[in-house]
Amino acid sequence: MGQIRAILLPGSVLPAQAAYGALIAALGPDVQAITKDLELYSGDEPPAGWSLDTEIDGVLREAHARGWETFHLVGYSGGGAAALAFAAKHPDRLLSLALLEPAWAGNWDWTPAHAELWKKYDQLETLPPEQFMPAFMRLGVRPDVVLPPPPPGPPPPWMAKRPAGIEAFLRIFKTYDLDRARLAAFRQPVFFALGGLSNPDDYGEIASRLSRVFFPDFHLEVFPKRHHFDPPHRIEPERLAELLLRHWKQAGG
């Protein structure tokens, strides 16, 4: 088998290289891992008419530029939502799918706890900028998790784009039609990494729904000490790399 080919999509906060640099180093030379920033942040404001289809088109362009007919796709948080949408529309292009706590709140039959949580996400749009990010982060973890303070000094320039980008994701979840029948027909292996300290009414329920309703070949791996904002691809890259390598080699291609 030749070199493993994978495209890695980041979440709605960190740029791709900052998010995945440690993981790529841990994956080693046998993996051609391409970090691809979200199309959402290609300009100073979200592109007009942006949707998950915009991200799908960006992945297709990246693969075409490299001559990749098939590849493995990895997505974290908002990038995980884009990866799910890609798997539904272009399953023939994927050798496997890896989801690192993907965000999703579409029109599925959620539990009351998940529905209540997303009412709180909707309320974020009413907050001033200085309160937006702390409130957003608090919703993603268990109530007893102590989140670190922001790093000292001025924020990096790219951070100014993030509230508008996160709000764009929250809006698209209300309208985007993620075809459940096509997800259920996806036969390639699916890997899901879940933090034990993440909000179980959010990412835990997404994992449960995907495993029970959609993907027939689904593997869940729990990282007990991790949560959505200290994810395994940044904090435990060696363990995640080992699991992804096993996942990809089992998938073949």
Name the pLDDT band for 105 (thresholds 50, 70, 90). confident
pLDDT, tens digit (0-9, with 9 covering 90-100), for 109-158: 889 999 999 999 999 989 988 899 999 999 999 999 999 888 888 999 99
Which residues, 6+ apart, have CB-to-CB distance to 216 below 8 Å?
Answer: 184, 187
Q: How far apart are CA 38 and CA 54, in angstroms?
A: 9
* Three-state helix/strand/coil letters over 130-165: HHHHHHHHHHCECCCCCCCCCCCCCCCHHHHHHHHH
Q: How many domains does the chain have?
A: 1
Residue 57 has pLDDT above 60, yes or no: yes
DSSP-assigned letter for residue 225: T
Would you give the distance in Å from CA 119 to the centre of its chain?
Answer: 21
CATH number assigned to the domain comprising residue 195: 3.40.50.1820
Name the pLDDT band for 253 (thresholds 50, 70, 90). low
| Full residue range of the structural domain in which residue 208 is found | 4-251
Q: How far apart are CA 8 and CA 208, in angstroms?
A: 23
Place of tokens 């990010």: 133
Q: Are 157 and 165 in contact (CB under 8 A)?
A: no
* pLDDT score for 2: 67
pLDDT, tens digit (0-9, with 9 covering 90-100), for 153-212: 899 999 999 999 999 999 999 899 998 889 989 999 999 999 999 999 999 999 999 998
